[in-house]
Amino acid sequence: MEQSPLTEAFYGQLSTRPLVLIVIGRPSCEDCTEWHSLLEGWRPEQQFSRLEVVHLDLNSPVGQRFCDENEWTKHIDFIPFNVLYEDGEPTDQWPGGSLDRLKSSLEKRA
Q: What is the pLDDT of residues 51-98, one digit of tens each?
A: 999 999 999 999 999 999 999 999 999 999 999 999 999 999 999 999
Query: Which residue from 102, 100, 86 is spatially nearest to 23, judged by alpha carbons?
Result: 102
The confidence score (pLDDT) of residue 9 equals: 96
pLDDT band (50, 70, 90) for residue 18: very high
CB-CB contact of 33 with 14 (8 Å): no
| Residue 14, CB-side half-sphere exposure with 13 Å CA sphere | 20
Please give the mean pLDDT across all residues of the chain.
94
